[in-house]
Amino acid sequence: MDIPLLIIGLLLLATLAAFFAGVLPYPVGWIILGIAFIGRWLHLRTRGGN
């Protein structure tokens, strides 16, 4: 498992969980984290995971 991908995914889940729990009034950074997650995943996919 790719460590940066795991960290980005955990931050994304934590942000969305805090939003749904009512801690954050708006899911701050979920768009940026989502784009970073997809970008990292596509980067790893094109490189073959190496």
Could you give the CA distance from residue 50 to residue 47 in angstroms, rounded to a whole number? 6
SS3 28: coil
Q: Tell me the pLDDT of the chain (50 aa) as tens digits.
A: 799 999 999 999 999 999 999 998 887 788 899 999 999 999 999 987 56
pTM of the full predicted structure?
0.80
Q: Alpha-carbon torsion 46, 29, 2, 6, what sign?
A: negative
Could you give the CA distance from residue 43 to residue 45 in angstroms, rounded to a whole number? 5
Cα–Cα separations (whole angstroms), residue 14 to 3, 7, 43: 16, 10, 23
Please give the DSSP secondary-structure letter assigned to residue 23: S
